[in-house]
Chain A
Amino acid sequence: MSLKNDKFPASAAFDVINEALNSSEADRKDAIKQGNAVFAFTLKNSAGETESWHIDLKIKGAVGKGLGEKPNVTLTLSDDDFGKLVTGNANAQRLFMSGKLKIKGDIMKATKLDPILKKAQTKAKL
């Protein structure tokens, strides 16, 4: 089952994050410890449609569709910007400052998201 929605190209990242969380038990526990919240994302594509996903790092350590149960924080941004965010080409703080990213809920929790999104990126090695 894929979490990706073809209308939202960047949503493939949710699959990747899910994969990263599932790949090792240690990573998952680490992520839960770090995040300890449910992060919901509402993406808006170029056609103006919206769709939601959530990363549950409170109990399950998994990614799912929809806003999830009582998300601690909801991030609303365009599909495009989300793509940049997960590839590391954009900085969440900067997106937030420039108004491209809207955060509802516990903003402090949103700052914990960064290391988790980083998990989905593969870093080159020296």
Chain B
Amino acid sequence: MSFMGGAECSTAGNPLSQFTKHVQDDKSLQRDRLVNRGPNGTLGGFRSAGSSAPQDEMMNGFLHQTAPLMPEQAPLPMGLHMDPNQGVHLRAKSTSPPAAWASDFQGTQAAMEAAFNAPPGAQFSPDDFARFQQINNPAASSSRSSPMPTQQQQQRPMMGMGGMMGMNMGMGMNYGVQRPMYQPMSGMYSPQAHMAQPEQQQQQHHEPEGKGKGKVVELDDSQWEEQFAQIELQDKKLQEDESLAMEPELNKMDEKLLHSETGYGDLESIWRGIQAERESMNDLDVEDDFAKFDSSNFGGDGLGDWDRLNGRIADPIVENYLFEDENLFRGQPNPFDEGVKIMNEGGNLSLAALAFEAAVQKDPEHVDAWVYLGQAQAQNEKEEASIRALEHALKLDPSNLAALMSVAISYTNEGYDSTAYRTLERWLSVKYPQVIAPKDLSSAAEMGFTDRAQLHEKVTNLFLSAARLAPDGDHMDPDVQVGLGVLFYGAEDYDKAVDCFQSALQSSELGTSNQSSQIHLLWNRLGATLANSGRSEEAIAAYEKALSIHPNFVRARYNLGVSCINIGCYAEAAGHLLSALDMHKSVEKSGREKAREILGDSAGDADARIEAMTTQNRSTTLYDTLRRVFVLMGRRDLSEKVLTGVDPDMFRGEFDF
């Protein structure tokens, strides 16, 4: 319908003119309704009590009924994804139970429909109906003919239709069909034309309806209870049947996965193909690669791999912390204080970690030592060890702020986004219980792939409201800013993250994150965010700042190397990475002297013993990245030399570090 069309252009044909007419109409109706609220009280009563109460009941019933159906359906698609081979089996076999299930379901549906139809029938005897329609007609017809039935839309929710729609959604597609059935009814109701009519008529019309309602409620109760009992029974039976049918399937699948017979054959042929190709390529490191392949779980258990693949979405499995076998601090009376001293002096992080290890071995309940250990390992570019230590600390003290924040950052680095968000939420609930009470935390169960964005939004909003609690810009809590920064970083909203870290650095309020012993971390975070948003040059400046504060900060050194890769300075990148490795490898000079002091041994002996001490928690990221740099430089000869645990000294001639 065009506004400008030829004949349509007349006043009568123009929808706009009709619209204005209608709007005027509307207003009068609304005013009427608002003004006459008092005398019309009965009307409101009839609407809310009469029509929505039984429907609420129905809805509850439905929710109870649909709930058990859901988990039953869920395992099926999961099973199908597990393995293409087994998946086909599963699909083929499982057709029978669902078919039965579907037919049963249809049965219940039919019964349900009948039940649904009953109330309206009882509610309006044809007699009432006719009268009702007659009364409504004058106003209803005018509102229907207009192109904008605004009235109807306004009224509908009041009629308990909201509840009905919710039900339809809960029931899924099957019951969706019923919606149109109800809609005309609501249309009939909704104009509420009788409001515009003289009150007499309203009363007159209202009374018989009230009677009808009374009957309906009774009817509903008895009928529905029966219905639901029946459905519940069917449901239970179905579930049992299903699980019985599934059990042999699952067992078979388990067996197959364990033996992985079918998969093995395929892989072997593929493997032979690869082998042949490799040989024809006359690759230099063929043998080396083969050894690696053989040792790895090439045809291995599919289940383990599946778990690992899902790891990024689900919670990571955190194992226990691995201690170094040799620890020079073990004999020390107070290794924790030693460690803190090393950290504050900017000493070698591997050494500090050793001190904290000794401290927690002495007293496994020492929460602070665990937290420090985790932080030292994170700064030392040993993320896995860090997460292990921090999770242990949180087991001992679930509300340790420093541990929560540090582990959230570690999870972000490792790509466990939703775990990181929930950890940040926990942090907030400890520090700002007024923003989110600990009992309102999101549970791990509700974590799905699609929920991640939602969770992120929720936690971000919570942090923003926490940030707003601060009086003004300069006095904001820097820790909240860091949390926000991490959140924005996780969503790749780097500009905002940069702002957050910068304001944390500038904040005059003293928090845990901007105290002098932690400030280098903040600079590094700023740098990392800049680097990942493509501003490598600015990032390098931030890293330099971090390293000037804490020269042994391995992570910043590593990040500096990464930024150098990104701007194409491979030689420099290699230098930085090698120096980071060097810090790992040999507990650095100052550390050595200290170690010697502590050990009180002859120099040579101490060196050897220190070497042996830092073997347990190794960072593969540094080696991987170094290998990558050499590849990018076109130095395959060098990249082949980079094996985990290699001494960086062998590259000293080529690179300056």
Q: Which residues of A contact B (CB under 8 A)?
A: 1-2, 4, 12, 15-16, 19-20, 22-23, 25-26, 29-30, 33, 59-60, 62, 87-89, 122-126
Q: Is B625 an interface residue (CB 8 A)?
A: yes
Distance in Å from the Cβ of A6 to the closest Cβ of chain B? 8
User: Is the contact region of chain B dominated by helix, strand, or loop, or is it mixed?
Assistant: helix
CB-CB contacts below 8 Å: B281-296 with A: 281-284, 289, 296
A84 to nearest B CB, angstroms?
A: 10
Q: Which residues of B contact A30 (CB under 8 A)?
A: 308-309
Residues of chain A with a CB closer than 8 A to B639's CB: 19
Q: Does B563 lie within 8 Å of A60, measured CB to CB?
A: no
Tally of chain B residues near chain A (CB < 8 A):
46
B624 within 8 A of partner (CB)? yes
Known pairs A12-B634, A16-B632, A22-B289; list 8 more (Cβ under 8 Å).
A16-B628, A26-B308, A59-B273, A60-B270, A62-B274, A122-B565, A124-B539, A125-B413
* B532 interface neighbour in A4, A15, A123, Cβ under 8 Å: A123
Q: Which residues of chain B are near A23, meaning CB under 8 Å? A: 624, 627
Contact residues in B for A88 (Cβ distance below 8 Å): 534
Report chain A residues within 8 Å CB of B309: 26, 29-30, 33
In the complex, whether B531 has a CB less than 8 A from a CB of chain A is yes
Residue contacts A-B, CB under 8 angstroms, 11 given: A1-B281, A2-B634, A16-B632, A22-B289, A23-B624, A25-B297, A26-B309, A126-B412, A126-B413, A126-B489, A126-B528
Question: With a CB–CB cut-off of 8 A, which chain A residues contact B160?
Answer: none
Q: Are B625 and A124 in contact (CB under 8 A)?
A: no
Residue pair B527, A124 in contact (C-beta under 8 Å): yes
Residues of A within 8 A of B486 (CB): 126
List chain B residues, Cβ under 8 A from A89.
534
* Binary per-residue interface labels of chain B (550-573) against chain A in the complex, 1 for a CB within 8 Å, 0 otherwise: 000001001100110110000000
Cα distance A1–B525 when bound, in Å? Answer: 38
CB of B409 closer than 8 Å to a CB of A: yes
Whether a CB of chain A sits under 8 angstroms from the CB of B594 is no
Closest A-B pairs by Cβ, 6 of them: A124-B528, A124-B531, A124-B559, A25-B296, A125-B413, A122-B562
Residue among A2, A15, A125 with max Cβ neighbours from chain B (10 Å): A125
CB closest chain-B residue, reference A121:
B566
Name the A residues within 8 Å of B555 (CB-CB): 125
Q: Is B636's beta carbon under 8 Å from chain A?
A: yes
Let me know if B264 is at the binding interface, CB within 8 A: no
Asked whether, in the complex, the Cβ of B298 is within 8 Å of the Cβ of A25, the reply is yes
Complex CA distance for A13 and B529, rounded to whole angstroms: 23
How close is A70's CB to chain B, nearest CB, in angstroms? 15
CB of A15 within 8 A of CB of B527, answer no
**B377 interfacial by beta-carbon distance below 8 Å:** no
- Whether B562 lies near A124 (C-beta < 8 A) is yes
Please report the C-alpha to C-alpha distance between residue A120 and residue B558 in the assembled complex, in whole angstroms: 16
Instruction: Assess the B409–A126 pair: CB atoms within 8 A.
Output: yes
A116 to B564, CA, bound (A): 22
Chain A residue nearest to B555 (CB atoms) is A125
Give the residue of B308, B524, B532, B628 whose beta carbon is less than 8 angstroms from that of A19.
B628
